[in-house]
Structure 1
Amino acid sequence: MQGESTRVEADEATLTVSLEKVCFIIIEAREFDAKDEITEPDPGSNPSDDKEVSVLEEHPDDPVVEELTSLINSLSEDEQIDLVALTWLGRDDYGAADWSAVREEAARAHNNRTAEYLIGTPLVADFLEEGLSKLGYSCGEFEINRL
């Protein structure tokens, strides 16, 4: 009987966003999280001379942020709702059995600032990964093939 309820939960937790997209967003968000604050705002040197340290710093025109923002903004409304719901699920606001309710709440809260919201959420990559895990999904295969 217990295996049957797990199967029902998994069926109810169908994502509209592809696992590959979520895993790519997780990887990109980890790149962004690893950035440090700007130590020298105007170094005036050649990047190769300073060992390209600026690539590890948060700059306003950061290509990682631009790519992440562009990707999230290009997703459909349902896909964006899934990302927010996965984030909330992953930060332990809800359990896997609450997927339908958390998704409905994310749909009610949806607006045109999803990318900014997610990028501005500390540990968003961890929350997304944990949310996927609670629903029985994993980025393991994706990471092996991509990294």
Structure 2
Amino acid sequence: MELATPLDILCRIIIRARENEAQVATTYDGDEDPDNVDGNDDDEAYSVLDDDINTSVEEELTGILDELAEDQLLEVFALCLVGRGDYDADEWDDALETAGDEDELLDSLLEMPMLAAMLEGGMAAFDLDCEGVGQVT
């Protein structure tokens, strides 16, 4: 199977999707917790471990997906269906057909839990991976 979507683009999607999924909103807002009567505010101690939500990561992921041609967007969605286990690699045409039935492909991909893992799993089903992609030797 030959994809219309370049491997480096698929790998960029995986990287940005991982970054987007890894973000955790900081729960500490700097105010004292009214329920904390002993003055120990554990949220403050742990807030340094949380990242603030970085909207630029989501915007970049959205931009990458939005720049894809429709057939490429269908491939990304179909690869996710294979990676999720809905289809096997030998059922690629069925996965593409299901992707074509999806109303809002871009929104569906952005809302897909574990997008990076699903896409990576779909690529693995076709012996594709990101090893060495984008590295300068």
**TM range, smaller chain:** 0.7 to 0.9
Counterpart CA distance in 2 for 1:108 and 1:122 is 19
Structure with the greater alpha carbon radius of gyration: 2
Could you list the runs of 5+ residues in structure 1 that have no partner in the other structure?
1-12, 44-52
CA contact (8 A) 2:24 2:50 kept: no
Q: How does 1:9-28 map to 2 (within 5 A)?
A: 13-28=1-16
Same amino acid, percent of matched pairs: 31
Please give the secondary structure, in 1, of the residue aligned with 2:113. coil
Could you list the runs of 5+ residues in structure 2 that have no partner in the other structure?
32-47
- Do structure 1's residue 56 and structure 2's residue 51 form an aligned pair? yes
Instruction: Give the aligned CA root-mean-square deviation in angstroms.
Output: 2.4
- Do structure 1's residue 31 and structure 2's residue 19 form an aligned pair? yes
**1:34-78 deviation line (CA, Å, top 9, x unaligned):** 1002424689xxxxxxxxx6982335xx00000110110111000
- Structure 2 residue aligned with 1:135: 126
Please give the secondary structure, in 2, of the residue aligned with 1:142. coil
- Do structure 1's residue 73 and structure 2's residue 61 form an aligned pair? no
- Structure 1 residue aligned with 2:35: none
Give TM-score scaled by structure 1 length. Answer: 0.73
Give TM-score scaled by structure 2 length. Answer: 0.77
Q: Using the TM superposition, give the Cα deviation of residue 31 of structure 1 relative to its aligned residue in structure 2, in angstroms.
A: 0.5
